[in-house]
Structure 1
Amino acid sequence: MRTIKRLLLLVLLLAVLLASAIGYYVTRPLTLPTSPLEFTLNKGSSLKVAARQMHHAGALPNDWMFVLLARMLGKSAQIQAGNYELTTAVPMLELLTIVTEGKAAQSKFSIIEGWTFNQFRAALNSNSAIQHDSATLSEAEILQHIGATGDYAEGHFFPDTYYFTKGSSDLALLKRAYKTMQLHLQESWQKRAPDLPFKSTYEVLILASIVEKETGLASDRGMIAAVFINRLRKGMPLQTDPTVIYGLGESFDGNLRKRDLLADTSFNTYTRAGLPPTPIALPGLASIQATLHPASTDALYFVARGNGSSQFSNTLSEHNNAVNRYQRQLRD
């Protein structure tokens, strides 16, 4: 009887020592061979396979202790696949929390205001952290995949910085940017100024894209929007170079010539009144809001001053004088 008590006491002592050793081992920071350390847990990996993947990447000194810890805490089936990044040494217990809560490494992608859809798509395709599922799809097919309608993708994606898990599909990012644009458009449309010459949010998107490309100084944005809206109300051509350049596509060599302004195309706002058929870029929120809340002015013309700002005029004679003044300064 005394022998049994001694054995039980010894087992209990060993258990306490083992628990203390494990507690110390799993709560002290692990040593990282490099910083930051990246590792990937593949989809469908079991606990043992995931531990082996982390061990081979250098995140764990061995895999068996991690497996034991996960089983002790009842987290064997909670390991989540993904790309992970450790920037500092963390204890094994914290590492278990990271991979069971799916705190995967986040990459970021920025859509720049004024980009065309082709520029946006080229940037997506060149990003190695993104899975390129849209690479072989047409614009119409991309729109179909993300739940959008229409055949033209231009203008539909909101410029912003988007965070995503490495290896995410570009279609997922496209869908987020599309939904974000729709949200901003609808919210801005509900708060729009009265008596604007727009029949739909798509027409707002078209003009906002022109405002985006024409604005050199942020404080001029409301005035530029107002000039175009005043022209639309009077049935005057918008006469804006960026639409002509967009219509030229890859043939544009950086020089806009008189023959380009005279050549009638659907995007030539010198030869045709009204809006072009599609947006010409991805407008930011400021351009959308300026389009829906233009400045109060009778101005119908503007010309670049050469310093990023614009000179606005109510009459053609005033505008011609401004053109002579500022264009001469640019030549001089």
Structure 2
Amino acid sequence: MLPPVIAAVDGSAESLAAAEWAAREAVRRERPLRLVHAWNWHPHQDTEPASAAARHLARRVLRDAEDRVGRLCPGLTVHDEQVEGPATAALLQVSRGADLLVLGSRGLSGFTGFLVGSVALGVVARAGLPVVLVRAGEDAADEHLPADDGTPSTRTGYRDVVLGVDLTRPCDEVTEFAFEAARVRRARLKVVHAWQPPAPISLGPGDIGLVEGPRRGDEWEGFLTAVLQPWRDKYPEVEAVTAVTEGSAQSALIRAATGAGLVVVGRRSTARPTGPRTGPVAHSVIHHAGCPVAVVSHE
């Protein structure tokens, strides 16, 4: 069987939005969908009535989610599963070998951004597969451009997929995920790189950024064009445009996310003494972007 798209569901509005987004993504990728409910096991509540109640709740949550995605995507193959244990560890375990994992995050009422819980942050920081965060209220029309009269529509083309690229460490896994996401949507891919002038003391022989002033942006643009050329050759059907700006990567990506359908960022999987982390750019984007965010692990 093809690796599935997995959606974690707990009955909340954000998890149901994530399940619906995952169902649409599974259709686009021609993958099955797997709905997973993780319920915590507590040693002090290890009684048969407590376990039976937890399993009953899990069945109801999964059934409700399956009914929703079945109405939206009637031809989609859907499986469901309930797993025990601390939610973060259980989701990491069950998602091994999957295509991607989709989680819900509560939108901040009146503001752009996410309230990302400890489970979602823990999964994002440790997962070896792409993880997509979806806000409550996200629906199919939000992925598409508005109609000519400005109203939401699912009959129009898809909004841009935005990719953040660090040209000092370009990552094939992140870039390929973004091109593939744009391909299955027939969407435009907007590739963003932000640069900052280096301090003179930080430059060594052969370092990037030795040109002066306005020419520095042109230099970065040339590097980005060279990095993207193999991917443009591999995905000739994807229109890839570039945006090279001076400033912080976080700010550039959050601006680019306005009006986008999906933002793709990378997360280094290298072990750190302080433990797994999302990294400053991914952390900022998943808290403040106004559309779903895909975090892709890379070496």
TM-score range, shorter chain: under 0.3
The structure number with the bigger radius of gyration is: 1
In proportion to residue count, which structure has more strand?
2
Higher relative contact order (CA 8 A, sep 6+): 2
TM-score, normalised by the number of residues in structure 2: 0.25
